[in-house]
A = this chain, B = another copy of it.
Amino acid sequence: MISPPVFFIFSLLLSFSHAAVKDFCVADFSAPEGPAGYSCKNPANVTVDDFIYSGLGVAGNPSNSIFKTAITNALVDDFPALNGLGVSMARADIAPGGVIPLHTHPRASEILFAVEGTVTAGFISAANDVYIKTLNKGDIIILPQGLLHFTVNTGSTQALIFVSFSSENPGLQILDNALFGNNFPTELITASTFLDGAEIKRLKAVFNGTG
């Protein structure tokens, strides 16, 4: 007799039809956004392709960057299905001598994975202790939330690293761009960092800053 299970399954789908939405909340960038993330796309319009992202499979071109590094992101703004799920990734292709410059992620810890090549990575703790290590292919390092860290390709070949974040939206503040890539007044940078004004102006020219 088929109808009982059919009835049962339908009633289940019915009573859980809203709840099921909460299994995922694919971001709808056109709807309001709140502190916990983006509004959810109507689940009736969600397909398997919403859960797939192919951007990390393509190497970036590090020669386009003064840092000789190309970063490719798979954050919630690139991959809307991550909305509310607390994890994201990125890749960096780093030419020999290239660098991921000193930066922080305000809202996430990071695992950095050396997939190809040899890189030197490190972070500075709030106690101002310096933790630096050269990573060979296959090594990972954990970089705690909100602390300054960097990666340099200290090998002779292009390096590939993958990073995983503890948030779908970790944020990124690159020191050079924060200080020298905008209109942060030179005298206030000097006052708040003791950096020499001439050095600041030199770097503002490099990073396209003003003031």
Contacts and interface: CB of A to CB of B under 8 A. Distances in A.
B172 A9 contact: no
Contacts of A47: 131
Contacts of A23: 106, 125-127, 144, 147, 171
A45 interface: no
A143 to B, nearest CB: 8
Tally of this chain's copies = 6
8 contacts: A9-B181, A28-B32, A31-B32, A33-B40, A36-B36, A51-B141, A85-B145, A99-B191
A126 B142 contact: no
Interface in A26-44: 28-29, 31-40, 43
Contact of A12 (B79, B141, B174): B174
| Residue with the highest number of chain B CB atoms closer than 10 Å, among A5, A85, A87, A137 | A87
Taking residues whose C-beta sits less than 8 angstroms from the other chain, chain A's interface range is 35 or more
A96 interface: no
A5 B24 CA distance: 34
A1 to B, nearest CB: 8
Nearest to A207: B5
A7 to B, nearest CB: 6
Interface in A140-195: 140-148, 150, 152, 162, 164-166, 169-179, 181-185, 188-189, 191-195
